[in-house]
Structure 1
Amino acid sequence: MKSVMDKEFKQYGRVLNLDTAQFVQTMLAKDPIKEGVVYEPSDADLEKLPLYQQMQDEVFGGMEVEFGFCSGYNEKLNAVEYHRSSEIDIAATDLVLMLGRQQDIDYGNNTYETKNVELFFVPQGTAVELYATTLHYAPCRENGAEFRCGVVLPKGTNLPLKVKPADNSGENQLLFAANKWLIGHSESGVDKDGGFIGLIGENTQL
């Protein structure tokens, strides 16, 4: 496993110099997740923080954003997704990100080989930008502990599609939600929700 502080992370994103202390305190005060993984695109507590305004004004250059979180228990890759924009992840606990490159997707059949995935440790309080071409999914944490991660994206991302493409071919097969393209593993169960199964190889586990 590598760290987001290592040079190998530079092809996937960068570490941001942000004061996250108040964010971490807010996230750790939330009730524990009982099981599985929970994702909330927008959270009222987080969007009251000064960090939310800083994200809009500085990090996203004046764009409207949503400040939510992903929390729970996860030790597997299960799927990869990407957006047409960067994503900011902020570690409220130590966590691990499984990352890949959009450039390695075989768009001939919409597949991606899991052997290309790299694991990166993110220390508590660290904020990272994941570039638009970086494949990612739910964070992980060792020893079965709960992870807590802030997620900042352009407003509306990950919400249900208002209009689905009439042509369900090519990359359109991967369009899972607003500004979200996804490729799942056969073990993930995302196909039950309309997700495309195209990960080749083992379902990478921490």
Structure 2
Amino acid sequence: MGMQIKDISDKAFSAYGKVITGLDVTGILKEMEHTPLPDDVIYVPSVPELEALPEALVIQNNVYGELPIQIGFCNGHNTKLNAVEYHRNSEINIAVTDLVLIIGKQQDIGADYTYDTSLMEAFLVPAGTVIEVYGTTLHYAPCHVEDGGFRCVVVLPKGTNTDMEPLEIKNKEDELLFARNKWLIGHEEGGLPANAYIGLKGENLQVGNEQ
């Protein structure tokens, strides 16, 4: 049984993020037509062709207050949660196709860094919508709405989700660091690498009724 899917206009979404208005992202949407759409999920943190567009500078200056950013994408076919991640800052998503985000709150992570997936909610993000996903929002790869898959632009501070140097562990949260500015909690059914921190309790949530 799939999850109930709410619209991002639902007041419940305000705890996780907001819709950003006033941005013309036509060029970004057009450039995204050339990106791959695999049967699984591909994530590319930084794409020079996207970052060279005039819209990229507007996002950097207006949305990130002139902080250096990277613009990449997450594309593919997916119906399951598999893991959650969070950053120390907001992430901007631009839905190229309709897509569903399964999201939760960092504040609900347990003291032992486990998290109950039953606390999560699913939201439909319509094609062409620009949203801010707050830094305290747990999220992972989008889910597709149609069998045709999903395409999603992902904007983050420069360097996020790239390989990091070995880290001296100072506390429990450090064990979640999976890449630069990426804290990850995986589900045992998520098919994650051996070094991923497994701490999601409950169902590996699914959108739709596919098995």
TM range, normalised to the smaller chain? Answer: over 0.9
Q: Which runs of 4+ in 1 moved over 6 A?
A: none
| Paired letter, 2:119 | N
Query: What's the CA shift for 1:20?
Result: 1.8
Q: How does 1:13-52 map to 2 (within 5 A)?
A: 13-17=17-21, 18-30=23-35, 32-52=36-56
Alpha-carbon distance, 1:185 to partner: 0.3
1:129-148 to structure 2, matched below 5 A, reads: 129-148=132-151
How many Å apart are 1:112 and its aligned residue?
A: 0.4
* Conserved 8 A contact 1:191-1:197: no
Aligned to 1:175: 177
Identity %: 50
Secondary structure of 2:174's partner?
A: helix
Separation in structure 2 between the aligned mates of residue 162 and residue 60 of structure 1, nearest angstrom: 25
- 1:164 maps to a residue whose letter is L
Q: Tell me which of 78, 93, 97 is aligned to 1:89.
A: 93
Q: Which amino acid aligns with 2:14?
A: K
Q: TM-score, normalised by structure 1?
A: 0.94
> What's the counterpart of residue 12 of structure 1?
16
Match of 1:123 among 123, 126, 136: 126
Partner Cα separation in structure 2 for residue 74 and residue 57 of structure 1: 32
Which residue is equivalent to 1:72? 76
Deviation of the 1:174 alpha carbon: 0.6
| Equivalent position of 1:62 in the other structure | 66
SS at match of 2:118: helix
Shift of 1:165: 2.5
Residues 45-64 of structure 1 deviation map (CA, whole Å, 9 limit, x = unaligned): 11121111011111000100
Give the Cα separation in 1 of the matches to 2:29 and 2:138.
25
Question: SS at 2:62's partner residue?
Answer: helix
Provide the C-alpha distance between the structure 2 equivalents of 1:14 and 1:142, rounded to a whole number of angstroms: 21
Asked whether the 8 Å contact 1:64–1:154 carries over to 2, the reply is yes
Letter of the 1:182 counterpart:
L
Match of 1:185 among 171, 184, 187: 187
Looking at structure 2, the residues matched to 55 and 177 of structure 1 have their Cα atoms a distance apart, in angstroms, of 23
Q: 1:53 aligns with which of 30, 54, 57?
A: 57
Alignment-mate amino acid for residue 165 of structure 2: K
Q: Deviations over 1:89-134 (max 9, x none)?
A: 0001110000000000002x21000001100000000010011000
Could you say what secondary structure the match of 1:85 adopts?
coil
**Aligned residue type for 2:185:** I
8 Å Cα contact 1:174-1:183 kept in structure 2: yes
Contact 1:190 / 1:196 at 8 angstroms: preserved in 2? no
RMSD: 1.2
What SS class does the counterpart of residue 13 from structure 2 fall into? helix
Q: Tell me how far 1:35 sits from its aligned partner.
A: 2.2
TM-superposition CA deviations, 1:62-81 (whole Å, max 9, x none): 10000000001100000000
Distance 2:11 2:144 in 1: 22
